[in-house]
Every structure is written in C-alpha cells, then in structure tokens.
Amino acid sequence: MDKLVEYHYLTKVVFSEKVHSHSFLLRCTPSENEYQKIESVSSRIAPAGEVFRASDCFGNTVYYGMAGEPHDSFEFGSSGTVRLSGLYALKEPLAGIFLYPSAFTAPDSGIAALLSSVRFSASETVSEKVLKLCSALFSRMEYAPNSTTIETTAAEALRAGRGVCQDYSHALISLCRLSGIAARYVAGFIEGEGCTHAWVEYYDKDCWRAADPTHNRLIETGYIKLSHGRDFDDCSIERGVFSGAAKQRLEISLQVQEKSAGVSLQKS
C-alpha cells in the first residue's frame, strides 16, 4: 500500500565571522523513481546568487551556485510531499562500478574475517544473504554518535566496533561487494528519526532493493531517498568552499510525518 509522507528539512551553517565568495553544491531534494513519487517539493538556499539545478553522474539532483556577498550564516534544505510505494524496488541495469571497492568501502582482513564467519546456503536468496550480513555486522558494531568522522572508512569503523549510520552502511557495502553482491550507498530521511540517515541498496536479479544495517533490517517502505553513489563521498548533502577563516557550526532540523497519521518527528 502506498504511503504519503510529508517532510521539512533545513540545515543552517553558522559561521564565527563573515565569509564571502561561498561556492556550494547541494543534494537536498528527493529523487524521483518507481519507489517514490514527488507530489510537491520546494527548496530553500539563502543567501545565494544565481542557483543552478542539474544531475550528477549517478542521476542525483544537485543545486550549485555561489553566495558572493559577506554572510555569517547559510541555510539550505527542502520541503515536500512524497508518495512511497509499499515495496522498495528499483528496476535498473546494473552498473559494474557498484561491485568494486571504493575509497570508504575497501575491505581489510577484519572485514574478510567477518564475512568468512557468515555461512550461506545455496538455496538462500540475495535478500536472505544480505540480512545475514546485516545481522553479523549488527552483532559487532555499537551505535555511538561522535565516535567517528566523515573520513572514517568501513575497515576503521569495524575495527573500532562502533560508529553511526554512515559507518554501518560502508561496512555492509564492503561485505556485500566482497561476497559478490553489488551494493551502493544511499542518503536520505527515515520516518521515526529527526536526522538525515544512510542505508544500503543491493542488487537482486534486475532491481535494487534496500537494507538498513543500523537497524538490522531489510527495507520495505518509510524511507525517503535523496541520493545514491559508491559511498558517502558521492552522496554528501553539502559541499562548499568559501573565503574567510571562520569556524562552522551546524543546526539541523527535520520533520517527517505520514500525512494520514499526523505525527511529527523532529530534532535540531
């Protein structure tokens, strides 16, 4: 059964002093696909001069431009209504790039050892194998905010035994690819949480299905997809370069609600 979900997302970057010549690239609006249909969407970017909309090499929607005048804060985000299918499945030809290691997902001996501890049977489906990998990873990792950085690799996170959704996703992608299952990183929003989230799409026959290793489950619905790529580096919501020596502080707000349920969830 379809689910109609309304969301409001905004990130505010606060600078310790004014900056200028601020070039940016943003991935902050949901993508349109057979799993999710965009009923309405609007974006906010301020301050900004001329803003351009395009698609990156993976088909994700990006906004880019430059805020030239001095400013001590920068806001970006989007709001909209998305109709989610009851089945997370995206029929696409397989791009071979998702079978090979990337900068954040390269396996080491620790990841290889974890994979060798998982026993697959010949009769198991790809989804059953991915769920086994999720469970093995979930038993080895502890969710620990601020224990890693955006530069932490899958191997480093598994070695430490802790991380956040980005780390769980990188580790599952590494396990999948090492076992011959194509996998890619996804950034987006999830019902029941007030921050951006990351999960994994894996290739099963002729379509992409999804798993959430942070919650140790396969995904059916309730997730709003912003972007996908080889790893976090391809899916970062914001990239920017500016002139000035200012420090930065982020203020993030997100509300996600099923329109029929009328329950709002937020965190800032």
- Considering only CA atoms, which of 26, 45, 37, 32 is closest in space to residue 81? 37
pLDDT along the chain (268 residues), means of 10: 93 96 96 95 93 96 96 97 96 96 97 97 96 98 96 98 98 98 97 87 97 97 96 96 94 89 38
Tell whether 186 and 250 lie within a shared domain: no
Tell whether 65 and 186 lie within a shared domain: no
- Tell me the β-bridge partners of 204: 207
Tell whether 127 and 179 lie within a shared domain: yes
Tell whether 163 and 135 lie within a shared domain: yes
Tell whether 188 and 251 lie within a shared domain: no
* Strands 142-143 vs 162-163: parallel, antiparallel or unpaired: parallel
Number of domains the chain is built from:
2
What CATH number does residue 186 fall under? Answer: 3.10.620.30
What is the reported pLDDT for 259?
Answer: 84
What Cα–Cα distance (Å) separates residue 121 from each residue in 105, 118, 128, 181? 25, 10, 10, 15
> For the chain, what is the total number of helices (H) and then of strands (E)?
5, 15
Tell whether 155 and 22 lie within a shared domain: no
Tell whether 98 and 186 lie within a shared domain: yes
- In three-state secondary structure terms, 121 is coil
The answer to whether residue 264 is domain-embedded is no
Tell whether 108 and 75 lie within a shared domain: no
Tell whether 57 and 36 lie within a shared domain: yes
Instruction: Round to whole Å and give the CA distance between 101 and 104.
Output: 8
- In three-state secondary structure terms, 195 is coil
The answer to whether residue 263 is domain-embedded is no
